[in-house]
Amino acid sequence: MTQSERVAAAPPADHLENASLKQQLRHAQSRYKKRSLLLIAPLFLFILASFLFPIFSILGKSVSNPELRTNMPTTVAAMQQWSGNEVPDEEVFKALVTDLRQARSGGQVAAITKRLGYEDGQYRTLINRTLRKMPPADSDSVREQLIADQPLWGDLNTWKTLQRASRPFTSYYLLAVFDHRVDSQTGEITAQPPEQSLYVDVLLRTLKMAGVVTLLCVGLGYPLSYWLAKQPSNRANLLMILVLLPFWTSLIVRTASWIVLLQSGGLINRSLLALNIIDHPLVLVFNRVGVYISMTHILMPFFVLPLYAVMKGISPNYVRAAISLGAHPFIAFWRVYVPQTYAGVTAGALLVFMMAIGYYITPALLGGPGDQMLSYFVAFFTNTTMNWGMAAALGTQLLVIVTLLYVVYIRVTRTNAEIAAQ
C-alpha cells in the first residue's frame, strides 16, 4: 500500500477527536455519579439503620424460633439423627435430662416451658413435672424411667412437637395471628377453637374502625376543603390555621381534652342538657363513639391538606362552561368538578386509613375493652408478656396491609393520570 493509500484509509482527525471527547464525557459523568452517591451515602445509611433494619428485624422475629435451640442445644443436636418414626433412643433422653438440669440451674426453664406451651399446654406441665423427678444423666435406663414417671414422653407426638419447636424458623406466630395452628397430634394446620379465636376478629375490628374514621373524614373534609378552596387566599390561609391546629398539639393532650369534653359532666353533655335536647347525659366516652370522634378530629388534617392542594389547582372555567351549556349546577359540580378531585380524595383517604389502622393511644384512652385495635395487642405482647414473636407477627400483618394499600394507591393514581392525559 502506497503512502497516499495509507493516508486515505486512515480515519479522519475530527472523528478521532469526537471519539476522545465522548470518552472524556463518559468518564466525567461517571465521576459525577460517584460523587453524587458519596453525598447521599449518609442519608442511605440513616434510612438503612432507622427504617429498613427495624422492618426486616420485625419480619425476622415473626418467624424466628431460638428458644429451644438456645436453651436445649444438646437435645436439639441429638435429635438431628432421629428418624421420627418411633420414640427416640437412650442417647436423646440423656441429652434431654442434661439440658433440663442445666436449664434449671441457669434459670432458663421458663423460656422452654413458655415455647412448648405455645404448641400445647400439656407440654408445659410435662416439663415442670419432669424437673421434679429426673433420673441421673449417666443412668443406663433414663429412657425407661422418664416414660414410667411421665407416660407422655413415650408418645411419638411429644417428640414430633419437640422437633418442630426446635427448628430455626417457625410458622407458629404467623398462623396464630390468623387464628390457626399446627395440630400437635397430626401436624396439620387447623383453625383454633372458637373460644380461643381472637386475632381475626381484632383485625376485622381494626379495618372497620379505620374505614369508619376514613368515611367520616371524607364526608366532613370534602365540604371543608371545597369551602377553603373557594375563599380568598388571605382568608383561606387564616382558616387553614384552625385545620392545622391539631398538628401543634400533643396527641395525648388532644385525646385527654376529648375525655374532658365527652364525659358525662363535660361541656357537650352540659350544653345539650341546658338546651333541653336530651334528658340525661349521653355516654360518649370509653366507647367506640368517643374513639370515632377523637380519631376523626385528629386525622382530619391529613385528608384536608392533599385535597385542598388539588382543589386549588382546578380551574373554575370547566364548571362554568358546563353550566353555560345547560347543565344543572349540581350536575356540573358532580360530573365535572368532583372527578378532578379524585386524586386528592384517594391520597387523603388512603393516608387517613393507613394511619388509623395503627392507632394505639386514642382507643386505649377513649375506648373500652371491645374497642382496642391491632396496635394495642402489639404493645401488649411487647411490654407485658414479652412475646416478641407474636408482636412481630401482628406488626407484619399491619405492614402487609399497608403495603397492599400502597400498591392500590399507586394503581389508582396511575389510572387517574392516564385518564387526565387523555
* SS3 annotation, the chain: CCHHHHHHHCCCHHHHHHHHHHHHHHHHHHHHHHHHHHHHHHHHHHHHHHHHHHHHHHHHHCCECCHHHHHCHHHHHHHHHCCCCCCCCHHHHHHHHHHHHHHHHHCCHHHHHHHHHHHCHHHHHHHHHHHHCCCCCCCCCHHHHHHHHCHHHHCHHHHHHHHHHCCCECCHHHHHCCCEEECCCCCCEEECCHHHCCHHHHHHHHHHHHHHHHHHHHHHHHHHHHHHHCCCHHHHHHHHHHHHHHHHCCHHHHHHHHHHHHCCCCHHHHHHHHCCCCCCCCCCCCCHHHHHHHHHHHHHHHHHHHHHHHHHCCCCHHHHHHHHCCCCHHHHHHHHHHHHCHHHHHHHHHHHHHHHCCCCHHHHHHCCHHHCCHHHHHHHHHHCCCCHHHHHHHHHHHHHHHHHHHHHHHHHHHHHHHHHHC
Below-70 pLDDT ranges, the chain: 1-19, 137, 184, 412-422
Mean pLDDT for the chain?
A: 85
Cα distances (Å, whole numbers) of residue 343 to 54, 75, 228: 31, 59, 18
pTM for this prediction: 0.80
pLDDT of residue 218: 95
pLDDT of residue 226: 92
Rounded Cα distance, 394 and 173, in Å: 9
pLDDT at position 421: 56
Distance CA 406, CA 399 (A): 10
Residue 323 cell numbers, joined: 353550566
Q: Nearest Cα to 395, choosing from 383, 410, 385, 381?
A: 381
Q: In the prediction, which pLDDT does 413 show?
A: 66
What is the structure's pLDDT at 11?
53
